Structure 1
Amino acid sequence: MEWELLGIILAGVGALYLWVFRIPYSFPHPLANPVGRENRFDILRGFAMIGIVIIHIHSYFQFFHPADTSVIRTTLFLSNLSRFSVPLFILTSAIFLRKKEGYWISKFKNLLVPYTFASVFGYLVKYNHYTVLEFLQFYLLGKVFAPFYFVPLLIQFYIFFYIFEKILMNSKYSNLLLFVSFFINLSSNLGFFDSLLPKDYHSISIFNYIFFFLLGIRIGLSKEEKNKPTANVFVLFGTFSLIILFFLTCFSGVYVIDFKNHHLIYPIFFFLAIWEILPKLNHKVSNWICFIGTNSLFIFLLHPFVIHMMHSFDPYSFGGPFFGYILTLILNVGIPTAIAVIVQKGKSLYQSHHSLERQ
């Protein structure tokens, strides 16, 4: 509750600051690029995917060296710093969501089929005793690997959007829905729904992330403002960044608290802060992170296999805690990314060959 309350207070102070000093600010428009999709959202997904890997690296180090407090508290700090990741994925998934022809076909081909293959193979690799009932339970709840819960969660939001699309896409209701969803999400974070929902459902409850989903839809409905004045918010974001880093250090280094994935304000702050920084990023760096974002499904589904296999090796054996951490991060992002490159090149060669045959 302390972190949640701090975030709400900071959001209130930030809103007051913008209002008092008449600083114009609006949500980033999803189609600022007139020729296509705004790639900064893919860069954000790239940051989120790297953040998910960082969260799991902390568990990996904790598994081998729970008594090495200085290292574990450092990895915990980086893990807590990355807790914007899942909310940001939910938010960016909603921005471009539209109910159109082939809605479920695309979800089946691009999400459910890869998830099913990864779940079946992962179940066979990770567990020793197999039962159909256990697999179905793990599959439906996303429990084959810890991060797989995201897929059943996302599917619920796709169903929710499909049923209530007319209401959700009506700009007249967007602000009211966003306001209501904030309090629903806050109530869920505070555990008010825990006794009402089955225990196994808690990790994939849409109430944990409904605000981020509706915020993504709200951003998707926003219109590009012509001649919009530039908002100088760097002082505000800089001040809040220092406050957040201070409390992250306290919670991670002193109290050793492992944050939840679905705190409300921190992911929104990170989203807006990074959005302001993105234009100033090195072009090559932003392209690399964008590639990770556009291929995040590969990394999301394959990274758990990499980190699972790495549990056969002490991370310190890769050159100590520092180099072990860096190498673990590179392998868990790099191997799935390399596979994504190979698959994409294979598809490109196949399409070229198929096109030549037709000619």
Structure 2
Amino acid sequence: MSTRYEKFDILRGFAIIGVVLIHITAPLATDGEVFAILINQMSRFAVPIFFFLSGWGLTIAESFTKSEGYWDFLKARFLSVFPQYIIWNFIYLAYSDVWSSQNLKEVLGAFLLGTIYNHLYFVPVILILYIFYPLLLKAANKAGVLFSLLITIISQLSDVWVQHEYFYMNKNILNWIFYFIFGMWFAKNFKEKTRHLQKYKYFIWVGLVLSMSLVLLTPFLVGDIFDFNLVLASTRPTVIFYSTMLVLFMIVTPFHQQKLNEILLKLSKYSFYIYLSHYLFLNIWRDIYSAISWNWNELLYILFSFLLVMGISYLVGVLMRKAEKKIGL
């Protein structure tokens, strides 16, 4: 069967928009700005969707079974993300001047954990999932999905009480493993599953509304009880419900907005480049904004920041992809 499913490419486009919006609104949301909190929380599906689509894409394309063994598979997977990861780690090292405050051992540790900059954790986590992909593929059945869901929920809840430096929140692979395995399972008999889901589309629509409402209301209901950064984070059981419902919603709902689709598909194509680069341009823009001492209203700041950061990140992605093609990557 075809390894492309346009709705999931569109979903990836939405996901990269969500990532950029999360990082734009995060400081405002932490300060309690209501509109920023709502945008931030509505975008929390983004990283879970990337993990889901990674598992789904590998499995629907039969990447492991078509490779010439485990090491050939692993080489292909590492080459798909690691060169860009190295490049952007050096860029963020130069920008953040980490060398002045950490020794070489600490910098290497940060590189391995993806903590040189806030968002880089994604690559080490996804590489670990690639390493264990053959084992996870065997577990990608109904029982495995349910077991991974239980593990992820327990892991996310434990963040509230056990905030260990090396396994806290985003760095903890167990906080994401459900999405990856769910994507792998979903890719098996994919057409049959999508047809079957049509019977439940109204329940899925209701589920999406309920799950989104839970995610949006959580900061206002329990924000004074727990660490507010935990309350806002993507690593919460309510976000699991929300992200899962959004995947199902995309499958059962017609999406025929041609112009919007074209934009989302372009963003989807360069989503990894945008993911890696956007934080740099966002923080440069923040520095400029602070230096000029502008005082825009919340909506104008978020909208302008999004258009500026997304536009520059997209152009950089296009240029980097062209450069990679020239050198044979």
TM bucket (normalised to shorter chain) is 0.7 to 0.9
Query: What is the rounded CA distance, in whole Å, between the counterparts of 2:109 and 2:94 in structure 1?
Result: 14
Query: What is the rounded CA distance, in whole Å, between the counterparts of 2:322 and 2:13 in structure 1?
Result: 20
After TM superposition, list the pairs within 5 Å mapping 1:255-294 onto structure 2.
256=223, 258-262=231-235, 263=237, 264-277=240-253, 279-294=254-269
Q: Unaligned regions of 5+ residues in structure 2, if any?
A: none
* Contact persistence 2:273–2:314 (CA under 8 A): yes
> Corresponding residue for 1:103?
73
> Corresponding residue for 1:20?
none
After TM superposition, list the pairs within 5 Å mapping 1:1-359 onto structure 2.
31=1, 34=2, 36-61=3-28, 66=31, 69=32, 72-97=33-58, 98-99=63-64, 100-101=67-68, 102-127=72-97, 129=100, 131-162=103-134, 164=135, 167-168=138-139, 174-191=141-158, 198-202=164-168, 203-225=170-192, 228=195, 231=198, 233-253=200-220, 256=223, 258-262=231-235, 263=237, 264-277=240-253, 279-314=254-289, 317=294, 319-344=296-321
CA gap 1:331/1:189 in 2 versus in 1, 3 angstroms: same
Give 1:304 deviation, angstroms.
1.1
Normalised by the length of structure 2, the TM-score is: 0.81
Q: Unaligned regions of 5+ residues in structure 1, if any?
A: 1-30, 355-359
Query: What is the rounded CA distance, in whole Å, between the counterparts of 2:209 and 2:124 in structure 1?
Result: 36
CA gap 1:322/1:240 in 2 versus in 1, 3 angstroms: same
Query: What is the rounded CA distance, in whole Å, between the counterparts of 2:220 and 2:213 in structure 1?
Result: 10
CA gap 1:175/1:204 in 2 versus in 1, 3 angstroms: same
CA gap 1:62/1:312 in 2 versus in 1, 3 angstroms: farther
Query: What is the rounded CA distance, in whole Å, between the counterparts of 1:230 and 1:90 in structure 2?
Result: 21
* CA shift digits 1:316-344 (9 cap, x unpaired): 83853222111111122211111223344
CA gap 1:232/1:220 in 2 versus in 1, 3 angstroms: closer
SS in 2 for 1:281: coil
SS in 1 for 2:191: coil
Query: What is the rounded CA distance, in whole Å, between the counterparts of 2:117 and 2:311 in structure 1?
Result: 19
* CA shift digits 1:175-219 (9 cap, x unpaired): 121121121112112218975x95322232221111111111101
* CA shift digits 1:199-252 (9 cap, x unpaired): 322232221111111111101222433995782545324433443454444334
Query: What is the rounded CA distance, in whole Å, between the counterparts of 1:227 and 1:245 in structure 2?
Result: 22
Q: Which amino acid aligns with 2:87?
A: F
Q: Which amino acid aligns with 1:157?
A: L
Query: What is the rounded CA distance, in whole Å, between the counterparts of 1:249 and 1:94 in structure 2?
Result: 27
Normalised by the length of structure 1, the TM-score is: 0.75
CA gap 1:232/1:103 in 2 versus in 1, 3 angstroms: same
CA-atom RMSD in angstroms? 3.0
CA gap 1:235/1:95 in 2 versus in 1, 3 angstroms: closer
Give aligned-pair identity as a percent.
21
Query: What is the rounded CA distance, in whole Å, between the counterparts of 1:55 and 1:327 in structure 2?
Result: 14
